[in-house]
Structure 1
């Protein structure tokens, strides 16, 4: 059988090759090979991820507090969801506790750090609930994306917290969420 040149590569094989090359580039990063970024910074990846997650939960709590203050009639409806977000903050912070630092205490963050990007609470209650749902949804999506780089136990915790945030977003915007 005579040898023939193969036909040009398929679109699928080109895309797979490009995705593989991009993945390899992401994995190798831009380091000079002089050590991992974690050891250079002196802070582990897990700790940085936990601190970010705690800070994000704190900002979401501030958003819940601002919404309850602006719309007192919504406070009872928001209370159980806010309580769950506070529990997430504590769970995420508990493994981050250093010796001499009480377990569950939040890591340092700016005292007046705003509720998700500093947006004011909308004047209408239904718009305020939608804005809060959007904040929950955005944080849930960010935590889902962060799973890819998280160490085992933290990944499981982030997955649980992300799922809970997605449920909160649903409850905040669904008519069933109006029921006590």
Structure 2
């Protein structure tokens, strides 16, 4: 009775076919033809950073509205956050207009896989009735966002990582200025 062992040549051809099929299936994202391609990581991270900065701007605005006597003290810090928002939005080659930033923040696809809901300050939180408590809450929001950005540095591509590091450092400085007696005027 003859042996039913496959030849080396047929084994090699079969292995090559299986490897080729595995490579080809690895190149597919599993999306049906005509589906929207996946948004690059840097774009998602920028969108998240712009959205989070927009929420922080809203916190500054609601704090200033609730405590008009703090508005002058908060103005330079808010302007800094607005500049960071514009710089983060401009990094994807589009104009950093407020309308664009607002529309991006409403986009459901803007979330980053590493973003945590608790990391971003929420503008919906009520402003504390005492000015000192309001400044402390704003400092906490700055600090939380700065820490979240520091954590996201590990995933960020080169230029975005440098920008996030710089913005995070500014956030820590803002938190310090919000909790010192001299505040933003020093």
- Same fold per TM (> 0.5)? yes
Write the distance in 2 (CA, Å) between the matches of 1:134 and 1:167: 12
1:54 pairs with 46, 50, 53, which one?
Answer: 50
Asked if the contact 1:61–1:115 (Cα under 8 Å) also holds between the matched residues in 2, the reply is no
Question: Alpha-carbon deviation of 1:175?
Answer: 1.6
Quote the RMSD (CA, aligned, Å): 2.6
Q: Which residue of 1 aligns with 2:169?
A: 163
Q: Which residue of 2 aligns with 1:138?
A: 144
Cα distance change of structure 1 residues 110 and 67 upon mapping to structure 2, 3 Å threshold: same
Q: Which residue of 1 aligns with 2:60?
A: 64
Question: Alpha-carbon deviation of 1:162?
Answer: 0.1
Could you tell me which runs of 5 or more consecutive residues in structure 2 were left unpaired when the two chains were aligned: 1-24, 31-35, 108-119
The TM-score, its normalising length taken from structure 2, stands at 0.69
Write the distance in 1 (CA, Å) between the matches of 2:104 and 2:149: 20
Q: Which residue of 1 aligns with 2:179?
A: 173
Write the distance in 2 (CA, Å) between the matches of 1:60 and 1:119: 11
Specify which structure has the bigger relative contact order, considering alpha-carbon pairs within 8 angstroms and separated by 6 or more residues.
Answer: 2
Q: Which residue of 2 aligns with 1:20?
A: none
2:131 pairs with 125, 132, 135, which one?
Answer: 125
The TM-score, its normalising length taken from structure 1, stands at 0.71
Question: Alpha-carbon deviation of 1:179?
Answer: 4.2
Could you tell me which runs of 5 or more consecutive residues in structure 1 were left unpaired when the two chains were aligned: 1-31
Asked if the contact 2:66–2:127 (Cα under 8 Å) also holds between the matched residues in 1, the reply is yes
- Kindly indicate whether residue 81 of structure 2 is the aligned counterpart of residue 75 of structure 1: no
